Amino acid sequence: MNITGKAKEDRSYDAIVIGSGVTGGYAAMELCDLGVKTLVLERGRPVKHGDYPTATLDPWEIPNAGHLPQEMLDRNPVIARCYAYDKTTEHFFVKDEEQPYIQEKPFDWIRSYQEGGKSLVWARGCQRWSKYDFDGPGRDGFSIEWPITYDEIAPWYSRVETFVGWSGNKDGLEHFPDGEFLPPFEMNCVEKHMKQAIESSYDDRYLIQGRCAHLTEVKDIHRQQGRGQCVARNLCQRGCPYGAYFSSNSVTLPWAKKTGNLTIRTHSVVHSIIYDEENEKATGVRVIDANTKEMTEYYARTIFVNAACLNSNMILLNSKSNRFPDGLGNDSGALGRYVGFHNYRGRITASIEGFDDHYFYGRRPTGPIIPPFRNVYQQDADADFQGKYLISTGASRPAWTRGVRSENIGADLIEEMQQPGQWRVNMRMSGEVIPEYDNHVRLSETETDDWGMPQLVISIDYTENDVKMMEDFLEHGVEMLERIGCKDIRAFDNNQAPGLDIHEMGGARMGKDPATSVLNKWNQVHSCKNVFVTDGACMTTVSTQNPSLTFMAISARAAHHAADEMKKGNL
């Protein structure tokens, strides 16, 4: 439908941001702070900070210890595999049946539609990329070159870390850069032993504390945001009533609202971006009301696409015109292609003796990391795979290990299980998946969803490179655990499908050459400069680190560029 006169004026803004999650909220905040009248479109329901109904429930107040009925799990096998999905969080997740998609190859698409998106349920651990993460793909030839460098993005990392509040330790590693950190969470006694054993045995491996978006100390900027200190409950996926971890709901959206420049419209399913062929620019978006199915158009000088990686690809692919018959900005044919993720298939568990006179308290929301040590500075001569991996690790003394094979019952069993068990050590890889043209998403030609939009076809899989990388991790991980002194070491392939890492990236990748990419160095669509994409869809490669911090830094940078270009009259 076309809207003219006063009706069009009432639906016009300086900028439209599609999505209210980690990147959409951040882009909107920066734009609003710069005086840009901004409309945020969210396809889910409104959720204001504090609207977390299960956040403070005690265990005995939750039916069935938080477990969902088997019938519900059977109807929704994809979301049932997500670690954070249970009775206390089900209201923050999209059920499989609510938005079906076509798995040409197995792919677990985890979605969270509400104001704040996945920022309410994310795992919160994030690290900066280094110069080697940006330089490596071009250096080793497994992807196109990144159009930006670490030095260009570093000031934006600092800006985000300072504003959000980031816990971590200054470790002084060039290939795993330090940030603007609040105090780190403490390692337990076994982890400190692991650190000493690994760093004394190897000259290229370090065990450092995880870095995460938690307020371990409240600075003035955080008091201005109305946030409190983390109390290490580690029930974060229920929503944090203290605002102690970063979410759009507790940080960026309220901050943007205070400027008077923010409008949020929920229940707004974005159908497509409107392209004006005469003026060669986008003029707005078509929105379907999630409840009434009515379509409305909204208009803006600049549009930010931040619907989350696969949703952003879906919107761009569905934004067809005579100029862009295969999707907005798809001159290169790369749109929807080269979608990557993180390889989490390798796992190792072990026991360690001693330390029985020690325990730990609290539920620390992060754990140690072993930064990449393979293919970091160059392709290692003895590595038969490309790309890197990091290792998430940690030690704990779970009580359940005492009751698994117990002969006790009743009160005696309860008493036994209240005592700490044997110390356990675990390792999990996060591997860099190499971008492949065949790993792609596209629109179905026959199947539609409840809003009349084409269903997404997902055709993404592991490659031989991923398997070789996993085998390398298992070999080196077992060796390190043996040197630490672990016993009963069990290394295995968990065979999880792509997607369950919830780190999908690419499809609208940045690049120097419009012939091989969709976006330029400022995250603008090469052939439609007033459309920006700054969520996971923009990523050229995936590296190994949890990517949300990089997404936010890129979003802040792009928002400032967009505001500057609007002031100059270029957008």
Residues 442 and 553 in one domain: yes
> Is residue 420 pLDDT above 90, yes or no?
no
Residues 395 and 538 in one domain: no
Kindly state the average pLDDT of the residues 510-527. 98
Whole-number Å distance between alpha carbons of 530 and 566 = 9
Could you tell me how far CA 467 lies from the centroid of its own chain?
23
Q: Quote the mean pLDDT of the chain.
A: 96
> Is residue 403 pLDDT above 90, yes or no?
no
pLDDT at 401: 62
Could you tell me how far CA 325 lies from the centroid of its own chain?
30
> Residue 212 carries which DSSP code?
B
Radius of gyration for the chain, computed over Cα atoms and rounded to the nearest angstrom? 24
Residues 97 and 74 in one domain: yes
Least confident of 48-57, 266-275, 288-297, 352-361: 352-361
Q: Is residue 254 part of a domain?
A: yes
Q: Is residue 164 part of a domain?
A: yes
pLDDT at 474: 98
Residues 194 and 139 in one domain: no
Kindly state the average pLDDT of the residues 561-570. 97
Sheet bearing 102-103, strands edge to edge: 102-103, 454-459, 440-448
Residues 442 and 527 in one domain: yes
Q: At what angle do helices 189-201 and 464-484 cross, to 10 degrees?
A: 110
Kindly state the average pLDDT of the residues 318-322. 98
Residues 361 and 425 in one domain: yes
CATH number, domain containing residue 187: 3.30.410
Q: Is residue 571 part of a domain?
A: yes
The answer to whether the CB of 365 falls within 8 A of the CB of 246 is no
Residues 302 and 414 in one domain: no
The answer to whether the CB of 396 falls within 8 A of the CB of 476 is no
> Of 300, 316, 327, which is closest to residue 538 (Cα–Cα)?
316
pLDDT at 404: 61
The answer to whether the Cα torsion of 248, 249, 253, 255 is positive or negative is negative
> Is residue 406 pLDDT above 80, yes or no?
no
**Would you state the structure tokens that stand for residue 296, as one six-digit string?**
């409305």
Whole-number Å distance between alpha carbons of 329 and 313 = 11
Q: Identify the residue whose tokens are 């006179």.
A: 357
> Is residue 305 pLDDT above 70, yes or no?
yes
**pLDDT interval class at 208 (50, 70, 90):** very high
Beta strand 528-533 pairing with 295-305? parallel
Helix (H) and strand (E) counts for the chain?
Answer: 13, 21
List all residues 6 or more positions away from 90 whose beta carbon is below 8 Å from its beta carbon: 68
Q: Which residues pair with 352 in a beta bridge?
A: 486
Residues 258 and 310 in one domain: yes
Whole-number Å distance between alpha carbons of 472 and 482 = 16
Taking every pair of Cα atoms in the chain, the longest distance, rounded to a whole number of angstroms, is 79
- Residue that terminates a domain, selected from 450, 472, 497: 497
What percent of the chain stands above pLDDT 70? 98
**Would you state the structure tokens that stand for residue 496, as one six-digit string?**
């999880």
Q: Is residue 4 part of a domain?
A: no
What percent of the chain stands above pLDDT 90? 92
Residues 441 and 452 in one domain: yes
Q: Which residues pair with 442 in a beta bridge?
A: 457
How would you label 93-126 residue by residue, b for 16+ Cβ within 10 Å and e otherwise? bbebeebebbbeeebbbbbbbbbbbbbbbbbbbb
Range of the domain at 351: 175-209+345-386+388-433+463-497
pLDDT tens digit sequence for 99-154: 999 999 999 999 999 999 999 999 999 999 999 999 999 999 999 999 999 999 99
Q: Identify the residue whose tokens are 């400069």.
A: 529
> Is residue 532 pLDDT above 90, yes or no?
yes
Angle ∠(28,30,31) on CA atoms, nearest 5: 65
> Of 135, 503, 233, which is closest to residue 344 (Cα–Cα)?
503
pLDDT at 359: 87
- pTM metric for this prediction: 0.96
Residues 540 and 415 in one domain: no
CATH number, domain containing residue 61: 3.50.50.60
pLDDT tens digit sequence for 459-491: 999 999 999 999 999 999 999 999 999 999 999
Whole-number Å distance between alpha carbons of 391 and 225 = 34
Domain count, the chain: 2
The better pLDDT of the pair 411, 104 is held by: 104
SS (H, E, C) 327-345: CCCCCCCCCCEEEECEECC
- Residue that terminates a domain, selected from 497, 521, 542: 497
pLDDT at 4: 56
Whole-number Å distance between alpha carbons of 114 and 153 = 29
pLDDT tens digit sequence for 150-190: 999 999 999 999 999 999 999 999 999 999 999 999 999 99
> Is residue 362 pLDDT above 90, yes or no?
no
Residues 396 and 528 in one domain: no
> Of 156, 213, 206, which is closest to residue 376 (Cα–Cα)?
206
Q: Is residue 2 part of a domain?
A: no
Kindly state the average pLDDT of the residues 217-242. 96
**pLDDT interval class at 402 (50, 70, 90):** low
Could you tell me how far CA 120 lies from the centroid of its own chain?
11
**pLDDT interval class at 5 (50, 70, 90):** low
Q: Is residue 448 part of a domain?
A: yes
Kindly state the average pLDDT of the residues 226-253. 96
Residues 322 and 254 in one domain: yes
> Of 354, 376, 279, 272, which is closest to residue 314 (Cα–Cα)?
272
pLDDT at 206: 98
Kindly state the average pLDDT of the residues 320-344. 98
pLDDT at 360: 85
